[in-house]
Amino acid sequence: MRFIVANWKSGMNATQIVAFQDQWNQKSLTWDEDVRVVIAPPDPHYVAFYNDACAGVYPCLQHISALTGAAHTGSITPETISDCLPSYTILGHSERRREYGEDNRQVLAQAQILWQLQIEPIICVDADTFADMFAQIEAFDPHLQHQCLFAYEPAGAIGTGHNLDPQELDHIIGDFRRHHGDFFPVLYGGSVTPDNAASYAPYCDGLLVGGASRQADSFYQIIHNFIASDQT
């Protein structure tokens, strides 16, 4: 299975999302069933997107609280989304780690909430947090029965325009899998564009796309280029 995940962050308002949906739904979706396209809209627009999602797209949240119950102002809790559960949720994104102080311990607590709801986490890591995050999951679930995806985000490539060299990605993911096994899909995230998407296809199981996913044409081209390269 291949995964192409759009993280719209806080960069789309309601009008822009409707325009994206209109443009997207005019396109011919030609990828195989073993490719999953996932979109995480900004929190205020999640429910509307869930109710009128783009064709062929799995809905995704950008984060979730590890807290439960109603008395948590400003938090997205299991109760908040009980009638519109996403297929996936992004956890531990580098921006949330940096701006909100989230760490692997908190990310694992959030993942446990998602697993209870049968939602698959997309857990973001960098070189310093990759192995420790896996170890914490393994300690909680020794048989690794819960499903998740990892998204490798090198710190210098997030929103900077400086994408990671594909050969370096091959080394990083290969080294991780030699030590920890091939249990979970690993995506790459960091300044992905239509021009470089294909170069990562041989080395990872998919992409986590930021700014370039906010335009329907650009995001569609990223998916097409990644899949076309993967099939050659």
Active-site entry in 95, 102, 120, 153: 153
Element (DSSP H or E) covering residue 16? helix 14-24
What is the sign of the dihedral through the CA atoms of 45, 80, 77 and 131?
negative
Select from 128, 127, 43 the least CA-distant residue to 86. Answer: 43
Active-site entry in 63, 93, 102, 120: 93
Active-site annotation holds for 153? yes
Select from 72, 78, 10 the least CA-distant residue to 44. Answer: 10
Measured between alpha carbons, how far is 91 from 102 in angstroms, rounded to an integer? 9
Active-site annotation holds for 93? yes
Longest dimension (CA), the chain: 52
Structure tokens at 77: 């809790």
Give me the active site residues, please: 93, 153
